[in-house]
Structure 1
């Protein structure tokens, strides 16, 4: 039986585009986006994988995920917007202390000038992103593409009509979400500080 490549060619293309992007607009309704994960949270995500990774593969995947965060520290980092659905912030993959560490990490990242973090609240009756996570990317040559996440990987979306639909969804998600300051306040409440 052939082994499935952990990072198929099309997923690798999404990663390469992410590394070079001028702007990223990231939406997730399942887990904290990779660029915002603490090491412990990244490990927990890979520990919950089915079928289970070996310790070695889990460590490699975690290291790769953490390496991707270097995008945030480029000399000229991309402008990045994150929209993360509130249940993701309440999903407790870690013990109380490590969960709080992840929430504090999110709050610290939200304070950076080139990052905008917004949360669509759980109690809203409208939600434009129920179909799943995706990322919009602006390439160095000002082209817009998207990577759509699914169970076994990512799909590169370059068709302008499809990218436009995802851009419309992202715009609606931002409109439905709390503003950046209210998002920081929500993180404080989840941490029990307010």
Structure 2
């Protein structure tokens, strides 16, 4: 999915007010209260439910979706007496609605993305949504024009962060991200948000399933001056492309057109810094080296 500001300028969709965000926020609050009543730390709950500490924190804040498997384990860990398990059917129904919340112009690609075994992305504007921190995503949605209501901003932030659960799948899809150096230099949201986003890129970039590369600004040759692009491979081994410019999306399924995008992406990766060099550059930006 391309993550341009242009995409976020679409008008509010009726499905954004379908109530699913309220359900997840309510569940998060219940989990927090039950945990605190037992004087249990987030770290203890993470260990008991086989989840990451960041995931527990995000679910309690209502910005990540509690999965049915988590609710089942948490019900025992928090001695909830079936309260959390009782919400599992509602969560599954809400997830079904979430899979259909995309507008018509994007829905076909969204379905393919959810089932992809490989995703390749080149970005020249902002960090891809799959890698964004909560604060960075909120800054993106808050700054867009025309303005979004506070409720819609929070809904879209929650929806965006929920997509990061793809990194928890096993077997995991494989990912390749190439960003222009300018994307990583732009301090969207301010210094603290920018630093947090760079550290998030380091965390994701060190995952085995992720390769993160930077296209240096001083590169004298560039095979793609036409904007961001995405390529994904489905479980059926079909590769498709997706681009968007000024709010106009295009899904590529023609074999010749997809091959041309794939060739272009291969050249982009060849011109960019290696993954090791790219992570070292981000560390340097942070002053860690």
TM-score by length of 1: 0.94
Q: Can you list the C-alpha shifts for 1:2-51, whole angstroms capped at 9, x where unaligned?
A: x9565421312211111110101111110001111000011111112111
Distance (whole Å) between structure 1 residues aligned to residue 134 and residue 244 of structure 2: 21
2:284 maps to what in 1? 189
Q: How many residues were matched structurally?
A: 192
After superposition, the Cα gap between the structure-2 partners of 1:5 and 1:94, relative to the gap in structure 1 and judged at 3 Å, is closer
Of 46, 62, 69, the residue aligned with 2:141 is: 46
1:166 maps to what in 2? 261
- Do structure 1's residue 146 and structure 2's residue 241 form an aligned pair? yes
Computed over aligned residues only, the root mean square deviation of the Cα atoms, in angstroms, reads 1.5
Larger helix percent: 2
1:16 maps to what in 2? 111
1:131 maps to what in 2? 226
- Do structure 1's residue 122 and structure 2's residue 217 form an aligned pair? yes
Query: Please, which runs of 5 or more residues in structure 2 have no aligned partner?
Result: 1-9, 14-101
Bigger Rg, structure 1 or 2: 2
| 1:184 shift after superposition | 0.6
Q: How does 1:14-163 map to 2 (within 5 A)?
A: 14-152=109-247, 154-163=249-258
Task: Look up the SS of the partner of 1:22 in the other structure.
Answer: strand
Distance (whole Å) between structure 1 residues aligned to residue 233 and residue 103 of structure 2: 22
Query: Please, which runs of 5 or more residues in structure 1 have no aligned partner?
Result: none
